[in-house]
Structure 1
Amino acid sequence: MQTVRKTSDQAILRIGATLGVPDVLRELRAEPSENALLPEFNSTLFGSPDNRISLSARGRLLERYAKITGCPYFGLLVGSRSRLESLGLVGLLAKHSPDVGSALRNLCRHFFLHADGVALHLHVDGGAATLSYRITEPRIPGVDQTGDGAVAAILNVMRDLCGNDFKAIEARFAHGRPKALEPYKKILGVHLEFDAESYGLVFSATWLSRPLPPTEAALTRLILDKVAEEERVHARSFPDQVQAVMRTAMTFDHARADRLAKFFDMHVRTFHRRLAEHGVSHQELLDKTRFEAACELLERTSQKLPQIADILGYAELRSFIRAFRRWSGITPSEWRKRRSVV
């Protein structure tokens, strides 16, 4: 299995969900070649879905091919070729769940086994459910390409779980409206929302109760044992687990300590104690996550400051501005002027 060298600040993921790159290149009549690859890759990278690269390397790869092909929606095309089976062991666990809701919760809980530095979050509000995707590592290149692909992949995952009669309500993108909308309409076939808080797919919550085909109990047990084994191998500290969930959960007001404790299936006092054992508090993690999220929203979207403050959970704009100045030494408006690419 090929692995690109990982430094201490890089998150690693399976190539599985990006395995469609060569096919997309051929479709665009740009045959994949060794010369087009970045120095850290070679042509065997796409030989196995279990080969691994860093988030940064994957982002640079998608950006490079988008530029080479002149196709700004390259990542969307790659994601449209991803299926539930592309997620390896995590996808297999979802497939062997009793119903769609359980499958999605298993994906969210164990997604780090497929991709580190990435979080999935399932949110149900009344009759609507949202499955959101977010890169939790800061300053990763190619976020827009990756996010577009994630939305297309989520749609395919839902079709694999629910059947081809699955219908979504809305696709969300955490970037501005692209010039070429037709590919998005053709591939996704739903209402498109841009400048959203995160990438994701909105659908009726009734799909969550749809039962999945029964599977052999012995096989399910083997999959659960393998997941437990992989979790021991890829163990993360409790604060790292919390922050990975917090970034996406914050969008839906789920970043409060009691909500996060429920996600980790523990009492809120146990939740606080576990963090304290690592010398960190919920508030410290929340501040760090809010700052990273604020920087991303200021740089990558055209959201107004009151909207960003609301997304981050601030009741008043001035509270957000005061906190941001404490974190960075400047106001959000000044930061946006210096760093914005919108």
Structure 2
Amino acid sequence: MPSDDLSGQDLPLYSAACQEISCKTERSVPIDFVHIHAVQAICEILIELDVDPESIFEQAGVSTQIFSVTDAISFASLGRLTALAANHSQCAHFGLLVGQRTTLASLGLLGSLMRHSETVGDALRALEMHHDLLNRGAVVELSTDGTVAIVSYAPYEPEAEGIALHCERALAALTIVLRALCGANWSPDEVLLPRLEPPDTTPYSSFFRAPVRFGQEIAALVFPTRLLRRSIKGANPVARKTLERHIQQLEAVIPTDVTDEIRRRLRTTAIRKQINGKQFAQTMAICRRTLSRRLKAKGTTFKLIANETRLGIAKQLLGDTDMSLAQISAALEFSEPAAFTHAFRRWTGTTPSAWRKECRLQ
């Protein structure tokens, strides 16, 4: 590798990437994995709060030796671990604390690619495109509407625990990343969180330095579109091309799964519009019959996965927000609340109201 391809501080990341590519070709990577950096952050925060990590890790079913044997944890396990840590530490904003431990360096090659992107918009689009290198349980999406830009984080694991904590962790991490690219004084115009408002909102307003809206249907940062055009100081186009090439090598050895891909794509459209199997097959450039055959081999169907995805979103909004049934029904594109209630009863055997009440009692 010529010395001018990567900056000096990126060379260690390149070497690590080569080793990672080699390792991933020899071992299976879980489909729903999340990079282990968040687990390290949880351990550190618990120690700082004078809480013994050992028992919490044991309750979560996560080995304390995980750091020496793997670089990934399942999305569900991370959510369970974060929820237990928040409960035992009695820290309602625990996910926020975990996200604040993020750095561009902790994102590995993807963090370096973002730092060497030409503009902030290019960096966020790189994160959107390659987020599955770090997290295969959620999607990041960048969208614009006139003068307003929104970067959102949407979990697609249907029954994962601690979704609200996952979301606040991700938005805190996104804020840290944007401050690394734009300057420490950067703040969003607005923060949207799909969780109940905690008794003390000061940690959120102090960190984000912006209005925080709780009980929302999505997790997102809102900011002016013009930010996307801001140049990133010190970006190296040669390093960027090299990093893109090696990221593509990493992605090539991560196993793909058609059901995982469907859940990912459905999650980005479920709040805005419904998509059927034929439309999805077209986005994958395969025929509907081929898609059905692949799903049948896995013992499932497109309709079943779509229903699981919508049910997961419904449970998240029922459990983690105070949105009304009418609001949730509209968000999930049901014709009316009665149709949503009927579908939820068919999926779960109970009504949305009864499920919400039972969830709040736990």
TM-score under structure 2 length normalisation: 0.78
Match of 1:84 in 2: 104
Measured after TM superposition, the shift of residue 217 of structure 1 is 4.0
Q: Which one of 42, 50, 58 corresponds to residue 21 of structure 1?
A: 42
1: CA distance, partners of 2:82 / 2:291? 37
Q: Which amino acid aligns with 1:241?
A: E
Contact 2:114 2:123 in 1 (8 A): yes
- For residues 283-294 of structure 1, the aligned pairs below 5 Å read 285-294=305-314
1:295 aligns with 2:308: no
Measured after TM superposition, the shift of residue 46 of structure 1 is 5.5
Measured after TM superposition, the shift of residue 330 of structure 1 is 4.3
Q: Which amino acid aligns with 2:291?
A: H
Match of 2:291 in 1: 278
How has the CA–CA distance of structure 1 residues 9 and 308 changed in structure 2, closer, same or farther, with 3 Å as cutoff? farther
Task: Give the unaligned 5+ runs of structure 2.
Answer: 1-19, 296-300
How has the CA–CA distance of structure 1 residues 177 and 14 changed in structure 2, closer, same or farther, with 3 Å as cutoff? same
Larger mean Cα displacement after TM superposition, 161-170 or 268-277:
268-277
- Please state whether the residue corresponding to 2:58 is helix, strand or coil: coil
1: CA distance, partners of 2:227 / 2:85? 36
Match of 1:145 in 2: 165
Match of 1:164 in 2: 184
Contact 1:18 1:82 in 2 (8 A): no
Larger mean Cα displacement after TM superposition, 277-286 or 107-116:
277-286
Q: Which amino acid aligns with 1:83?
A: T
Match of 1:124 in 2: 144
How has the CA–CA distance of structure 1 residues 45 and 237 changed in structure 2, closer, same or farther, with 3 Å as cutoff? closer
Flag the structure with more relative contact order, 1 or 2, with Cα contacts below 8 A and sequence separation at least 6.
2
- Please state whether the residue corresponding to 1:179 is helix, strand or coil: coil
Measured after TM superposition, the shift of residue 45 of structure 1 is 4.6
Alignment length (residue pairs) = 330
Match of 1:265 in 2: none
How has the CA–CA distance of structure 1 residues 26 and 45 changed in structure 2, closer, same or farther, with 3 Å as cutoff? same
How has the CA–CA distance of structure 1 residues 270 and 295 changed in structure 2, closer, same or farther, with 3 Å as cutoff? closer
1:173 aligns with 2:193: yes
Contact 2:190 2:221 in 1 (8 A): yes
Larger mean Cα displacement after TM superposition, 288-297 or 300-309:
288-297
Task: Give the unaligned 5+ runs of structure 1.
Answer: 262-267
Contact 2:31 2:257 in 1 (8 A): no
CA RMSD between the two structures: 3.5
Measured after TM superposition, the shift of residue 194 of structure 1 is 0.9
Larger mean Cα displacement after TM superposition, 10-19 or 37-46:
37-46
Q: Which amino acid aligns with 2:173?
A: A
Q: Which one of 33, 56, 63 corresponds to residue 12 of structure 1?
A: 33
- Please state whether the residue corresponding to 1:139 is helix, strand or coil: coil
> 1:250-275 CA distances to partner (integer Å, 9 max, x unpaired)?
33x155479x87xxxxxx84547355
TM-score under structure 1 length normalisation: 0.82
How has the CA–CA distance of structure 1 residues 269 and 56 changed in structure 2, closer, same or farther, with 3 Å as cutoff? closer
How has the CA–CA distance of structure 1 residues 287 and 63 changed in structure 2, closer, same or farther, with 3 Å as cutoff? closer
Q: Which amino acid aligns with 2:229?
A: S
Q: Which amino acid aligns with 2:40?
A: L
Percent identity among equivalent residues?
29
Contact 2:120 2:181 in 1 (8 A): yes
Measured after TM superposition, the shift of residue 213 of structure 1 is 3.4
Larger mean Cα displacement after TM superposition, 221-230 or 168-177:
221-230
1:310 aligns with 2:330: yes
How has the CA–CA distance of structure 1 residues 162 and 255 changed in structure 2, closer, same or farther, with 3 Å as cutoff? farther
